[in-house]
Amino acid sequence: MPSTDADLAVEATDLRKEYGPEVALDGVSLSISTGTVYGFLGPNGAGKTTTMRLLTGLAQPTSGTVRVCGVSVDDRRALAAHVGYLPETPPLYDEFSAREQLDYVADLRDVPRDVARERIDDYLDRFDLTEDADRRIGSYSKGMRQKTAFVQSVLHDPEVLFLDEPTSGLDPRAARRIRESIVEFADAGTTVFLSTHILPVVEAVADEVAVLFEGRLVAEGSPMDVKARAEMGESSSLEDAFLAVTSDARSAEEG
């Protein structure tokens, strides 16, 4: 059944983004239902990070519109309460401990102190950070930094969570915990917009998948729909379908 506007967590219409003469996005439209895990795929330079910056209000489109939870991304103050964002390079203060960082973010997000304390303790335990919670982040490994950044992106219980390479630098156990958390959030009604190069992660958790190539959407639908679009059988992987779809798009561009 087609989604009504009230069912949509993310609505983007005809997004175009130009950087001088370069066109980073060219007419991208998205309609993402509430509670969906939406896998956003594309080769390097396809425009994935640009798209995420537009959807989170961190950049303005040259043309087109975006609404998240019914709020225009032009209203960044109103948008902030609805959105969590984990960028590929997370904003962390090296001089803070993880606990101080999370306390600081919870305060910025107006999370009540008692609620914040409970959530912080729970997430630190869940991601095996409790023993190191009072060490300076500057001494952390890449994986520990990534886990801390993930926690800060979900601390205020956002309705829509944007994740850019969330398992980067993580060991298998931590990466599994991230995947499990994504599914748990979606089951609780959170919409997760997931951009990653690790296609088995997308295949494991995504309800819907979109493939971006040269700033345009070249495939969208369930993982099975994308495989069918690429003329792949059920036993094929999403990676096989991704390679086929992007190869077709490249051939069409060149032809």
pLDDT of residue 251: 77
Distance CA 125, CA 138 (A): 20
pLDDT of residue 234: 65
Contact 4, 19 (CB under 8 A): no
pLDDT of residue 232: 74
Question: Under CATH, domain 5-82+160-254 is a member of which superfamily?
Answer: P-loop containing nucleotide triphosphate hydrolases (3.40.50.300)
Cα torsion through 85, 86, 91, 96, rounded to 10: 100
pLDDT of residue 220: 94
Chain region(s) in the chain for CATH 3.40.50.300: 5-82+160-254
Please tell me the pTM assigned to this model: 0.92
Q: Which residues of the chain have pLDDT under 50?
A: 1-4
Q: What is the pLDDT of residues 103-134, one digit of tens each?
A: 999 999 999 999 999 999 999 999 999 999 99
pLDDT of residue 2: 38
